Structure 1
């Protein structure tokens, strides 16, 4: 599977001439499953049990990154990839493929290419070397085919503890200006973790098949951040959500009995806070049911279960469309989540975060 990476150096000659392409598998981070060579965000052997919208969103490489260490003097890294090219009549047909290069918490630069079924992009590197992340464009499902250094050496970046993050479109990163500015990506950098983004726009409605898939994924920490789509998209009652949260956590615990697990209730949604849905539940009531379920489980003996209320994290000024946060809002969620998780991060990860910064 994609998350079993090794860190032995893969080197290229110090030459301006092109070198052989390196297998990108050892460099991929943020991966959950592979479908052939394609990173996906749901178990490809278990799609039949998932709603169609979640299966569709799971095909996009949200949060998938290429991470490498470059020696000083390496001029650039080249990434060869394939992607789906929409029909000319598709509104997104002209959307460029933009690859963002990050060094710790700093965006170094972006390289964009015209849509193509297969292409190569070159990302210039600063002269001092170090650990870098390349965030892939999330549309048109790019698949890395190879990478190589120009004028230096590359090796896979150190493997960081994996953090499984399940949620809806807010977790997926909607309205963040770049994939790297979503709250899971930002909190991952703060904590020195490898975030695996399992957010599904329109989904995360308590689908128990996803809980079973989470139970089978290796991870050192887990966060569940859902509930807002239980107000309107698939309406629920507070009693239903209370029981569903208990069942969801119970299924995840079958694979992760002692893993620190943080439940984050829905963030502010002004139109829904006091307005009943078709079943009579307000978002405030749903949020309370979710938090109560998690606290009850903790009181019943789950000593590794944590709860964070989403309501105080954002104000109306942080919402772009009354629902999804802007970059400032994503940063606020990330900071709050990082504060709760920091005491539970495996030893050594915080030092990795300091080094990246």
Structure 2
């Protein structure tokens, strides 16, 4: 006879990977920026991105064989583009991916990329159900969709649930762009940071924000104030495709960003990661603009800047890599725990020939796996073994 499902109180203690949890009229809304940072942000794109729970997961121990989770997701629709796939929830049992599903319904956010407008259409919650789990004690994680804002409404199980023990492994805190956020990854455990964390045996906090890696001081303070054993910051692509700054401003901004992180983490291993290959912006400055003339209705991105303006300080990925390498070399003389990772070692010309960027900016699922494996081997594994916790 099947045991009845009982309600499990949703509390912040059941969540990992979030910096803040907002109590809403319906339940809990995880955030990846703290409230103070959100109050200082005026950009709708970043507000959307930080509320999308990349790397955020429910983590608990239970004997339950059946789990139900009610959520209220926010789906995105881009004007002129094909429908996006439903966001996936990954069920991980004792470290192994054992199930996936989506929640239908929810709110809809319609985005017009040509003029930057948003239209919100309210929706209703949906239910996710996982069955036939082993009846033995087990550690369960439900990774929330990395690309859908997800309000947690209710959790039910047919056995008691308690927060999972704090894992005895280093905490890796990472900041980056939509590529780190997980754009075009297969699922939330298959973004390159999640894959790298799994391979290196570290606990991930992912502060990758689609369109939002712009050296914002409030993001630097969030990194400063978040406990971590290893930290990495991936800098460059958003600054170019937003045409956000020139070299005169970029170099001091990088120094200031790193200075702020070091206020809270004076000796932790800190990796500065330059951009992966993106042919559109290697030698052509931003801004980027959507091009809806792609095959099968897919949109791509094109570079709108003038290469001649590089001489006037406009930024390209090539000039950013050179400057980041110079800054890290300069600072490392006094900061032996500061390291540089060249993005071309993660995804370069040979990788692009084999696994081209589908929209000319973002890697596909296979490239996410390659980048994650390489980052673990180049950046995390050499350091995580030297970290004591």
Matched with 2:65 is: 75
Kindly state the Cα deviation for residue 195 of structure 1 after the two structures are TM-superposed.
1.4
Matches within 5 A, 1:1-357: 16-36=3-23, 37-52=28-43, 53-71=45-63, 74-84=64-74, 96=86, 98-103=88-93, 106-116=96-106, 117-127=124-134, 130-150=138-158, 152-160=159-167, 161-276=170-285, 277-278=305-306, 279-280=309-310, 281-299=315-333, 301-314=334-347, 315-316=351-352, 317-318=354-355, 319-339=357-377, 340-345=379-384
Secondary structure at 1:231 match in 2: helix
8 Å contact 1:77–1:122 — kept in the other structure? yes
Kindly state the Cα deviation for residue 324 of structure 1 after the two structures are TM-superposed.
1.0
Distance 1:283 1:348 in 2: 32
8 Å contact 1:268–1:312 — kept in the other structure? no
Kindly state the Cα deviation for residue 133 of structure 1 after the two structures are TM-superposed.
2.0
Secondary structure at 1:204 match in 2: coil
- CA displacement 1:71-127 (0-9 Å, x = unmatched): 4xx32222233345789x999999756422124664312233321423432212542
Secondary structure at 2:35 match in 1: coil
Instruction: Extract unaligned runs of 5+ from structure 1.
Output: 1-13, 351-357
Kindly state the Cα deviation for residue 289 of structure 1 after the two structures are TM-superposed.
0.5
Instruction: Give the total of aligned pairs.
Output: 332
Matched with 1:355 is: none
Distance 1:223 1:205 in 2: 15
8 Å contact 1:24–1:147 — kept in the other structure? no
Q: Identify the range of structure 1 (248-257 vs 93-102) with the bigger mean alpha-carbon deviation.
A: 93-102
Task: State TM-score, norm by structure 2.
Answer: 0.76
Q: 1:293 to 1:51 in 2, by over 3 A?
A: farther
Kindly state the Cα deviation for residue 171 of structure 1 after the two structures are TM-superposed.
0.6
- CA displacement 1:268-309 (0-9 Å, x = unmatched): 01122233555413321111101221221112x112212110
Q: Identify the range of structure 1 (93-102 vs 55-64) with the bigger mean alpha-carbon deviation.
A: 93-102
Distance 2:154 2:59 in 1: 13
Q: 1:189 to 1:157 in 2, by over 3 A?
A: farther
Secondary structure at 1:202 match in 2: coil
RMSD: 3.0
Instruction: Extract unaligned runs of 5+ from structure 2.
Output: 107-123, 286-304
Distance 2:5 2:277 in 1: 51
Distance 1:309 1:348 in 2: 22
Distance 2:87 2:176 in 1: 25
Distance 1:313 1:223 in 2: 14
Task: State TM-score, norm by structure 1.
Answer: 0.82
Secondary structure at 2:373 match in 1: helix
8 Å contact 2:61–2:139 — kept in the other structure? yes
Larger proportion of strand: 2
Secondary structure at 1:176 match in 2: coil
Kindly state the Cα deviation for residue 16 of structure 1 after the two structures are TM-superposed.
0.5
Distance 1:242 1:86 in 2: 35
- CA displacement 1:307-334 (0-9 Å, x = unmatched): 1100122121332222211122112221
